[in-house]
Amino acid sequence: MAVTIKSEREIALMRESCRLLAHVHDRLGEMIRPGISTWEIDALGEKLIRECGGVPNFLNYNGYPASICVSVNEEVVHGIPSKERILKEGDIVSLDAGLIYKGYHSDAARTYPVGKVNDAVARLLRVTRQSFFEGIKYAREGCHLHDISFAIDSYCTRYGYGVVRDLVGHGIGTKLHEEPQVPNFKQWRRGIKLRAGMTLAIEPMVNMGGWRVRWLDDDWTVVTQDGSWSAHYENTVLITKGEPEILTLPSGMT
């Protein structure tokens, strides 16, 4: 299926879905502390999503067994919440969450420090988040899709980090994953021309070491091949003729 251009009505619904998700993320961020299990984060996440009238879109997606992906340290994405996995001081934890509201999907991820983390790790979190903002400088009508990919990649590699290649961002709307794929690393082609009304989930996954990843035996959890720690930052973004609208941030802006 081709890349969809959302109508004004659809954009309004995307805004609502994403605003609810932004609120869920804010609440989840407040509970990150040493001693909490990744299962508790998922349980609260599911409760918050349902309380605001949403439905968790990750739950049972291709058999994924939870509502929130909770990935710790060298886990890149799709960590499965567990009562046995307790966060401890100095860890980092990525929360990837999404919901459906009135038929429209939202998707966003944040990576948090657990208590105090060392300077190198703090920098990974800052750079990963900033790489998203470097990327969306090109998320506007008239630019090409892979301008975003290039901007994210070149910013991260400047710090010696590896940008994950096996997983990419995506279009989003009435489905969680729509066309186009949104790579976070340099591409040979320019990609499609961006147009107002496209909604994209842009989600750099950045490793302190090399870009290579592997899957654990649970067939979900993605970890870095070299064991280096990894961060993930994602928002659902609306392309316009001017500045992009970051739908899953409360203010819609930075």
78 binds ligand MF3 (CB under 6 A): yes
Residue (61 or 215) nearer to ligand MF3, CB: 61
Asked if 80 and 66 touch (Cβ cutoff 8 Å), the reply is yes
Residue (109 or 124) nearer to ligand MF3, CB: 109
Per CB under 6 A, which of residues 172..201 are in contact with ligand MF3? 201
Dihedral angle, C-alpha 76, 77, 83, 85, nearest 10 °: 0
Residue 147 contact, options Co ion, ligand MF3, none, Cβ 5-8 Å cut-off depending on partner type: none
Taking CA 98 as the corner, what is the angle to CA 41 and CA 105, rounded to the nearest 5 degrees? 165
Asked if 131 and 155 touch (Cβ cutoff 8 Å), the reply is yes
Do β-strands 205-207 and 162-163 pair in parallel, antiparallel, or remain unpaired?
antiparallel
Residue (75 or 107) nearer to ligand MF3, CB: 107
Q: Which range touches ligand MF3 (CB under 6 A), out of 12-20, 54-62, 123-131, 145-153? A: 54-62
Residue 58 contact, options ligand MF3, Co ion, none, Cβ 5-8 Å cut-off depending on partner type: ligand MF3
Query: What DSSP element (H or E) covers 39?
Result: helix 38-51
Using H for helix, E for strand and C for coil, what is the string for 190-238? CCCECCCCCEEEECCEEECCCCCEEECCCCCCEEECCCCCEEECEEEEE
Residue (88 or 214) nearer to ligand MF3, CB: 214
Q: Which range touches ligand MF3 (CB under 6 A), out of 7-15, 58-66, 81-89, 192-200? A: 58-66
- Give the separation between CA 177 and CA 162, rounded to whole angstroms: 24
133 binds ligand MF3 (CB under 6 A): no
Buried b (16+ CB within 10 A) or exposed e, 18-32: bbbbbbbbeebeeeb
Asked if 211 and 165 touch (Cβ cutoff 8 Å), the reply is yes
107 binds ligand MF3 (CB under 6 A): yes
61 binds ligand MF3 (CB under 6 A): yes
The minimum distance between CB 60 and ligand MF3, in angstroms, equals 9
The minimum distance between CB 10 and Co ion, in angstroms, equals 18
Q: Which of 62, 84, 160, 188 binds ligand MF3 (CB under 6 A)?
A: 62
Residues of the shown chain interacting with ligand MF3 in the complex, contacts defined by CB under 6 A: 58, 61-62, 64, 69, 78, 96, 107, 109, 170, 201
